[in-house]
Chains A and B, each alone.
Chain A
Amino acid sequence: MDTITYIGEHLLPGQIGHTAVIIALVSALFTCFSYFQSNQTRNIDHKESFSWKILGKLGFLVHGISVFTIIITTFYILINKHYEYSYAQAHVSDDLAFQYIFSAFWEGQEGSFLLWMFWNILLGFVLMMRSKQFEAPVLFTISLLQLILTTMILGIYVGEETKIGSSIFTLLREVMAAPVFQKADYVELLEGSGLNPLLQNYWMTIHPPTLFLGFASTVVPFAFAIAGLWNNEHKEWLTPAFKWGLFSAFFLGTGILMGSAWAYEALSFGGYWAWDPVENTSFVPWVILVGAIHANLVAKKTGYSIRASYIFYFLSFILVIYSTVLTRSGWLGDTSVHAFTELGLETQLVILLATFILFPFGLFIYRFKNIPNPKKEESISSKEFWMFVGTVVFLFSSILILYSTSLPLINKIVKYFNEDYIGRAISDPIEHYNRYQIWVAILIGILSGFAQLLRYREKNGNSYLKKMAKPFGVIFAISLLFTFLINLWIQNPTWQHHLLLFASTFTIISNLYFIFSLDKEKLNSLAGVVAHIGFAVMMIGIMSSGLNKKYISSNPQAQRNLLPDNLLGTNALLFENSPLFLQGYEVTYLKDTLRGNMRDFLISYKEIDIESSEVIDSFVLTPNIQYDNKFTNVAAYNPSTKRYWNKDIFTHINLPPSKTNIESAQAEEDSLNYKSYQIPINETLTILDTTRDEFGETIKKLNFNIAGLNMPPKSKEYTPQDGDIAIGVDVAVQGANKKKKHNEEAIVIVRDGMVFHKNASIPNLAMKIKLNEKILDDILTPDDKIKYQQIRMKSGQEANINGYVITFDGFNKKPNHKDLKLEPNDIAVSAKLRITSPEGRINLLEPVYLIRNNQSFNLKDFKITEGIHTKLKTILPEKGEVVLEIGVTPKPNTVLLEVATNAYRNDYIILEAIELPGINLFWIGSVLMLIGFLIGLVLRMIKKRNESYAWR
């Protein structure tokens, strides 16, 4: 086979990128080795250790620069839309807005690995400067991770079959066999697939980087834990790990919450959390990390829980990797709505996971005996005891979530050993997880309210408890009172919900009491108080928005007896402009408008008081749909939400099948029975239309009237493009009852040599009207076939040509003509012509006379629908005259319309509207909780220098 020499490929960025990947890999290995040597020689030869450390720093610097080079090169390819690279072809397209280049960058797996590596490097640079005696082991761990991550984007074949990693610089022709690659100039022919429209949302530009910063930063406390074990500095690592633990919990939590916000705004399920595997696997590391922070705090304050601190920090990072493995392997299969693409990295992912399980736990077992553990047990009335119980609860919560999430994987493993095994699955994820996690929430609520009032290293437990009996009693009573009051608002709670509500109010009251009454280390405790109150508020928000959730769009009476009661639908049908009364609201679908490739649907809501029938409140929501780039499919449905301080009204829509994709539309179009009618312009024609259906024959009397032709069409449904020839015709149709005149525009468009129709639709008459393309032949006359008549005119003069009265109204020295793009030194003048047609319509035309580079040009102005064409031939300045050329083309007297009178109604939307009371409590609570972490982090950073250990 001949090798083809391709034209137009940009191979240089790929070569630079590939080289950078290799350097990144080698330098990561080198950094790893150097820091290892540095740490191993630290107590033997200080000088040697220092030299190795310098080498490590240099190695990491080179690694960082290489990874940045990879990222910059990738952006270069994406921004310049070099579709010869498969990553660019798969993730961007010509029309992608610049701000979404970032989303496109991390949409694919290779890009998200790079994002992860990017944060690791920034964190590594900070740690290189800040982690003092732990620099070598910490940076060793991070560069070990970087080493394995780099292999994921390596893209090198070992032998024929085995591929290591998937390169972001792979050329399309290397991964795809298509006839187009037989052409040397295939590059110009490629078109990008573009970014998934669901991801074209502002949350998607900030959620992934934040989440990945959270994911990436879990390696930092992990690395400090490794360092503590490795160097037998079991207490010293606790302080930096605590700070970084807070950092990581803050960013991971924020990232997850942003994901919730995106789901609530962009997805149609009307919620912020669905217990989807992708959500769970990012949530679990965070839960474990929060456990780790508690264990770490206990260890710092009391010396207990050092082992737990190690294990929890190890687990949180391992679970981040586990999450990576699950979501990138395709093993979750059919349990998630998220689309997973398999890159064949399974083996490498398992190696990554195994490395980071064996390494820390091996070290842990090896050093186990050296880890300090106080002989004396914690007192049962001490704070640390109950905090420890809390961390165990976190662990349980995580195990339960992980077990259920991993079911597909467990099924696969069991099936491998036992072929007859029937896989288990969760039938209703939300119900399933909530049922168990409610207990976790109850326990956490009670523990955080109770333990907050206890003291660390309690020696006089009994007398303290006696002293606290009264405040405890008061707090308990107040909490009960509030639980009762909130219960009046929450609907249909079970006793578990009552308990959770009590636990939440108890936490709030107890923490408030703590911060206002107990007088020690107030500022230090602020972080915990805010975070715990946030947690409790969030729980109340989850209950109120979940239990009080009301489907406005459900219409139980209208449901036919087709479905069992538990499957009653939550969607309502809304015809355009016919109000529907639903659950206390009068809902009307007003209209829809096209905006770019979006279509907005205006839906008006009027809340009506049932007794007085008065409108209490009214608002308009605009859910919209987004078409794909070719307008052939609806690519995304975007909900719209009305926000009140106390509730949200969430709305999303579905469209009639024929409006969702071109195949259904075509199928429906094909089923229509079009009949042709020659309809005179400006005259009313009455048609007797016979339709046959299952009920027999109906004869309808229809009056047609064509008011005029439009070029370009007037309708907003038509979006002009350069080079279009488009004609619209205004049709007025009146049914036999003569009640209402329907005015619509039918359009025909010639674009890139193809003919398109935009049919007029009159749902009330079940009618569709198509403008036959014959109209184009009728009125389009090539310019050389037009007979022009020359006339000379002075300003203000009139002339009559074939019944057209032409008045020359003087010159326009700043002409505006659609074909005129002025260049410097151009001289352009137009003649202002007022032309009255034989029918008496006035048209203003401005033919242009242009002098460019000493040559003169005439730009014609015309109005095809009036059959008039004008040119400004020359100007005779000495006489104050212009020489005009006027051409007249025939105007059609009739228009050929194709009319179908058996069209389906499609002037409706399918609406789902949900009222979510108290959902703001969820957002406020979760943000408060994150602020708690942030306060903790800032406080630690401020007093970092004079930190001391109480138990030393």
Chain B
Amino acid sequence: MKKIHILAIIMLCLAGFLFVSTTKGLTTYGSFADAKKSTGVIKLVGQLAKDKPMSYNPTVDPNYFSFFLKDQEGIQKKVVINRPKPQDFERAEQIVLTGQIEKDDVFYASDILTKCPSKYKDEELQLREQKG
């Protein structure tokens, strides 16, 4: 057997090991129902429940922002994140959260991503104010 073959086998084993452990480190997309069942971190896609209260009161705690999210199955739950309210949050069409549900039935997010309708593309055509 050539050395190159030995090397190839070592590399393949290493690759296999890394791949398996890579896949293990991944989470899945899910709903609040999935998050409740799961013990680990989950990714969740949903929309802001606009009729429910949203709270960001920096003078009380600049690192506490809470809102209600409606997941894709229509379930609404409170979400808490430890950072200031993201820019243009109300306009987000879609919110992607990473986190988990704790005992108090609140979803604690460690990461939040808001997808806004591209501000500079799809907005209504801006027109000059007509003069005279």
Contact = CB atoms under 8 A, between A and B. Distances in A.
B26 A341 contact: no
Contact of B98 (A172, A380, A428, A661): A428
B97 to A, nearest CB: 11
Interface in B11-36: 11, 14-15, 18-19, 21-23, 25-30
A663 B126 CA distance: 18
A801 B59 CA distance: 57
B118 A427 contact: no
Given A427-B25, A567-B81, 15 more contacts: A193-B121, A334-B45, A399-B15, A424-B27, A425-B26, A432-B26, A435-B25, A568-B63, A569-B61, A571-B83, A572-B62, A573-B59, A657-B56, A660-B87, A908-B59
A180 interface: yes
B94 to A, nearest CB: 7
Contacts of B2: 377
Nearest to A440: B18
B28 A423 contact: yes
Interface in A889-911: 904-905, 908, 910
Contacts of B119: 196
A746 to B, nearest CB: 24
Nearest to B123: A193
B26 A424 contact: yes
Contacts of A378: 3
A191 interface: yes
Contact of A377 (B3, B19, B56, B127): B3
Interface in A868-919: 904-905, 908, 910
Contact of B63 (A559, A564, A637): A559
Contacts of A365: none
A396 interface: yes
11 contacts: A195-B120, A196-B120, A341-B121, A389-B7, A396-B18, A403-B19, A427-B98, A436-B18, A564-B108, A571-B62, A661-B88
B22 A191 contact: no
B22 A403 contact: yes
B27 A178 contact: no
A396 B83 contact: no
B98 A563 contact: no
B128 A656 contact: no
A339 interface: yes
Contact of A654 (B15, B84, B111, B123): B84
Nearest to B96: A334
Contacts of A89: 125
A656 to B, nearest CB: 6
Contacts of A90: 120-121
A488 interface: no
Given A396-B15, A423-B29, A568-B82, A191 B128 contact: yes
**Which of B18, B19, B88, B110 has most A Cβ within 10 Å?**
B18
Contacts of A404: 22
Contact of B23 (A424, A428, A905, A908): A424
A389 B128 CA distance: 63
Interface in B96-132: 96, 98, 102, 108, 110-111, 113, 115, 118-121, 123, 125-130
Nearest to B28: A422
A425 B126 contact: no
B49 interface: no
A147 to B, nearest CB: 29
Q: Which 7 A-B pairs have the closest CB atoms?
A: A569-B63, A567-B82, A654-B84, A569-B82, A427-B27, A910-B62, A573-B62
A218 B30 CA distance: 40
A190 B64 contact: no
A427 B80 contact: no
A407 interface: yes
Interface string A375-388: 00110100001000
B85 A178 contact: no
Nearest to B86: A654
A421 to B, nearest CB: 10
A454 B7 CA distance: 19
Given A334-B96, A427-B27, A562-B80, A567 B125 contact: no
A643 B81 CA distance: 31
A426 interface: yes
A426 B82 contact: no
Contacts of A337: 113
Contacts of B28: 422-425
Given A341-B118, A432-B25, A910-B84, A562 B61 contact: yes
